[in-house]
């Protein structure tokens, strides 16, 4: 009977799937037909004489639209002025990051004469195709002028007959390179992946470096990399980079100061990019570039090799100069639209190798190749939302109401930890939440509980979805939350401030999809003030006047894309705020919860650092959004006794995490000022 039913169910399931496949096949046929029809109409428009004649006017209109959009991303007039000031500050420092950073004669001599214990040969691969003469010369010169001498330049040239001067130049330089320049003219141009792979066939080095034909290297970049190879055993290295206008590297357009290796950043955005140098051993059994991902071949390669690398080192110096000119990806991703789909494919392939299924990859408003990734949530885990509260009935009511009305995740419980409230209004609200009334009110129930230390017991609503735990004693944010967690029945703990309000309906799902991963510790959300300026977008240690920790992009308007689009994609952070923090309950307990010696502040940062010591990643996502009416409940910590207490806790934090603070935040480049939260550059002279 059972086997028969199984067979019938199998046949029914097969028939259902067969029907779905047939329906999908029909839809594909219809869509292909519609595509052909639209392509025909598009071609007819583009061939029209009027369309061609109005080209210049459309270019002007599109330029104006792009500028308008750029301004809207900045926010209001104050924010535009702030951006102008930052740009002006950057401009004043550009030369110090450009030719001003090149070694003088004395430094050059020192670097050239340095003998490292390990002097690896670095093979620099440059695929060539119809390069401009002046660009070709500058590329060759910047390699020849490297202060580290044990390099090899491998050139595979797919240029046509009109660009025969490229071969002449390469052979001219090869003749004076002591055999370090290897040149091959290809019988055809096979595209960037094919041409680069042909370069690799020429390479004999221990390490491989990838370099574009029209860009420029800092003269000390190989020296800096070999230094890290010797000191840290690096097998994958990259540096900071900048785009520049065609004629002068000091005329920088966008200076990109990167974080250290951050896997979630890399999945969403190829931030590593240039100048990638890696141990040849990482390529054993692997292709260098895969032609299936032309246009995003570097992103695909970086994802694969960083997975295999044992020691990834970021050299936080601007040492790669990426030329921006018509047709280059540096000028506009629109110059190579196929790169967008290739990049999605590369990320999808990477995620599948890591065991992820049923994910979605979509472009964000920051850039077509900066992605939002939606992961499948496994199972139906329960989330325990722990909210500390004292009085402030309207704040708590707004918070809980927004959870109940706006959330799409249903398997959760709310645990309110009551701490010395005095108003009758809050007691009435607790009674309402618990479904109590009259002689069986919250206040009457509390009288029946025996007080044992800080624990005054717990009361549940009839359906068990809401509980109120009573904490007796002076306010201690850490101890209050730890008590609440001790009563939690969920698989995950969501610490939430009572002065928050849910905006995004699937906020719990957006956080849970990361928290469920084995390599992730805490997950934080994007929090706004009431005026829709940023309150929280990740925490950086060492930032701020106390040199403890601070929030990045603080008070930046919601429209702003953030530094290099960082307000628009999920990324790794050293810490996230406890105002909205999701973590596995098992991990919460493993690290001992919140450290109760941090009574008011820095307990969340301390908690996140404890998770990092376990080797876990902390994640911040911009796709879980809430309002955070910060400090409404307890006020600010900038005056009197509160200021003194904050100073003591700051001192305690600096002592406890001294080594981490001295090393600097791995996700915040040391070229940024620690006095500001807007990624403003540190003055290399004053150090501020």
Report d(CA 381, CA 494) in Å as an integer. 12
Q: How large is the greatest C-alpha to C-alpha distance in the chain, in angstroms?
A: 99
Distance of CA 561 to the CA centre of its chain: 13
Distance of CA 85 to the CA centre of its chain: 25
Q: Which helix (DSSP H) or strand (DSSP E) does residue 466 occupy?
A: strand 466-471
Report d(CA 429, CA 391) in Å as an integer. 10
pLDDT of residue 509: 97
Query: Can you list the residues of the chain whose pLDDT is less than 50?
Result: 1-4, 333, 335, 450-452, 632-635
- Token readout for 357 is 């299924």
Report d(CA 83, CA 633) in Å as an integer. 33
Question: If you search the block for the tokens 């599109």, which residue do you land on?
Answer: 62
Report d(CA 352, CA 252) in Å as an integer. 38
Distance of CA 392 to the CA centre of its chain: 36
- Token readout for 599 is 């009574």
Structure confidence by residue, pLDDT tens digits, 251-265: 999 999 999 999 999
Distance of CA 418 to the CA centre of its chain: 36
Contacts of 344 (CB under 8 A, 6+ apart): 361, 371
Structure confidence by residue, pLDDT tens digits, 465-508: 999 999 998 999 999 999 999 999 999 999 999 999 999 999 99
Looking at the DSSP assignment, which residues form a beta bridge with residue 209? 124, 277
Contacts of 531 (CB under 8 A, 6+ apart): none
Task: Write out the DSSP string of 305-354.
Answer: HHHH-S-EEEEEEEEEEEE--TT-TTT-GGGSTHHHHHHHHHHHHHHHHT
Contacts of 659 (CB under 8 A, 6+ apart): none
pLDDT of residue 77: 67
3-state SS of 28-54?
Answer: HHHHHHHHHHHHHHHHHHHHCHHHHHC
Distance of CA 193 to the CA centre of its chain: 27
Judge whether 95 and 170 are in contact, CB under 8 Å.
no
Contacts of 161 (CB under 8 A, 6+ apart): none
Report d(CA 87, CA 91) in Å as an integer. 6
Judge whether 501 and 403 are in contact, CB under 8 Å.
no
Report d(CA 625, CA 533) in Å as an integer. 12
Judge whether 618 and 606 are in contact, CB under 8 Å.
no
Judge whether 629 and 530 are in contact, CB under 8 Å.
yes
Judge whether 511 and 581 are in contact, CB under 8 Å.
no
Residue 355 to residues 169, 300, 377, 378, 380, Cα–Cα distance (Å): 48, 17, 13, 12, 19
DSSP 575: B
Residue 443 CB-half CA count within 13 A: 12
DSSP 245: -
Examine residue 275 and say whether the peptide bond preceding it is cis (omega within 30 degrees of 0): yes
Judge whether 485 and 431 are in contact, CB under 8 Å.
no
- Token readout for 671 is 């070229």
Judge whether 574 and 539 are in contact, CB under 8 Å.
yes
Q: Phi first, then psi: give them for residue 181, nearest 5 degrees.
A: -105, 120
Looking at the DSSP assignment, which residues form a beta bridge with residue 216? 321
Q: Which helix (DSSP H) or strand (DSSP E) does residue 140 occupy?
A: helix 133-144
Report d(CA 116, CA 238) in Å as an integer. 20
Judge whether 628 and 527 are in contact, CB under 8 Å.
yes
- Token readout for 168 is 């002449």
Alpha helices in 626-674 (DSSP H): 640-656, 658-663
- Token readout for 258 is 């990167």
DSSP 563: G
- Which residue from 577, 530, 582 is spatially nearest to 552, judged by alpha carbons? 577
Q: Phi first, then psi: give them for residue 593, nearest 5 degrees.
A: 65, -155
């Amino acid at each position: 009977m059972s086997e028969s039913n199984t067979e019938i169910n199998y046949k029914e399931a097969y028939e259902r799937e067969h029907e779905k496949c047939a329906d999908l096949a029909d839809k594909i046929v219809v869509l292909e037909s519609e595509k052909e029809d639209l392509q025909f109409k598009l071609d007819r428009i583009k061939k029209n004489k009027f369309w061609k004649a109005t080209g210049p006017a459309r270019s002007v209109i599109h330029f104006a639209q792009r500028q308008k959009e750029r301004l809207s991303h900045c926010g209001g007039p104050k924010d535009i002025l702030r951006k102008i000031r930052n740009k002006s500050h950057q401009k004043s420092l550009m030369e110090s990051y450009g030719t001003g950073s090149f070694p003088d004669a004395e430094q050059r001599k020192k670097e050239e004469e340095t003998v490292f214990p390990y002097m690896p040969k670095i093979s620099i691969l440059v695929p060539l195709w119809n390069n401009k003469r002046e660009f070709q010369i500058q590329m060759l010169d910047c390699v020849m002028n490297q202060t580290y001498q044990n390099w090899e330049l491998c050139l595979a040239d797919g240029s046509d007959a009109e660009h025969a001067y490229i071969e002449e130049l390469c052979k001219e330089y090869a003749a004076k390179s002591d055999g370090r320049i290897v040149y091959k003219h290809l019988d055809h141009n096979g595209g960037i992946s094919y041409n680069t792979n042909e370069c690799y066939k020429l390479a004999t080095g221990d390490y491989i470096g990838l370099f574009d034909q029209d860009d420029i290297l800092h003269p000390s970049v190989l020296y800096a990399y070999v230094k890290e190879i010797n000191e840290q055993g690096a097998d994958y290295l990259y540096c900071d980079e900048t785009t520049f206008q065609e004629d002068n590297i000091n005329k920088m357009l966008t200076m990109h100061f990167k974080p250290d290796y951050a896997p979630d950043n890399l999945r969403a955005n190829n931030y590593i990019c240039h100048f990638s140098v890696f141990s040849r051993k990482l390529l054993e059994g692997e292709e260098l570039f895969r032609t299936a991902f032309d246009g995003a071949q570097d992103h695909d390669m970086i994802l694969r090799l960083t997975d295999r690398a044992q020691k990834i080192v970021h050299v936080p110096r601007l040492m790669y100069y990426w030329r921006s000119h018509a047709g280059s990806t540096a000028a506009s991703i629109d110059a190579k639209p196929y790169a967008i789909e290739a990049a999605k494919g590369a990320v999808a392939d990477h995620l599948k190798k890591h065991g992820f299924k049923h994910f979605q990859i979509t472009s964000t408003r920051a850039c077509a190749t900066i992605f939002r990734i939606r992961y499948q949530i496994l199972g139906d885990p329960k989330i325990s939302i722990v909210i500390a509260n004292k009085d402030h009935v309207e704040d708590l009511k707004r918070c809980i109401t927004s959870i109940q009305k706006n959330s799409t995740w249903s398997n959760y419980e709310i645990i309110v930890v009551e701490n010395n409230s005095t108003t009758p209004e809050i007691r009435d609200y607790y009674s309402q939440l618990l479904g109590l009334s009259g002689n069986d009110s919250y206040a009457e129930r509390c009288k029946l509980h025996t007080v044992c230390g800080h624990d005054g017991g717990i009361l549940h609503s009839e359906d068990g979805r809401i509980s109120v735990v009573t904490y007796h004693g002076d306010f201690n944010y850490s101890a209050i939350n730890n008590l609440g967690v001790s009563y939690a029945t969920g698989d995950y703990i969501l610490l939430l401030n009572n002065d928050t309000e849910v905006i995004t309906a699937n906020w719990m799902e957006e956080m849970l999809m990361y928290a469920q991963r084995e390599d992730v510790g805490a997950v934080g959300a994007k929090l706004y003030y009431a005026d829709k300026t940023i309150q929280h977008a990740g925490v950086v240690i060492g930032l701020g006047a106390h040199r403890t920790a601070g929030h990045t992009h603080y008070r930046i308007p919601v429209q702003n894309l953030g530094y290099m689009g960082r307000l628009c994609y999920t990324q790794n952070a050293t810490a996230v705020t406890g105002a909205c923090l999701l973590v596995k309950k098992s991990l919460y307990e493993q690290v001992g919860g919140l450290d109760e010696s941090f009574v008011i502040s820095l307990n969340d940062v301390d908690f996140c650092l404890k998770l990092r010591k376990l080797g876990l990643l902390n994640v911040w996502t911009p796709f879980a959004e809430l309002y955070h009416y910060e400090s409404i409940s307890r006020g600010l910590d900038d005056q009197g006794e509160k200021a003194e207490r904050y100073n003591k806790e700051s001192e305690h934090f600096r002592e406890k995490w001294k080594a981490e603070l001295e090393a600097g935040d791995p996700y915040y480049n040391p070229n940024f000022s620690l006095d500001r939260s807007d990624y403003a550059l540190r003055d290399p002279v004053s150090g501020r």
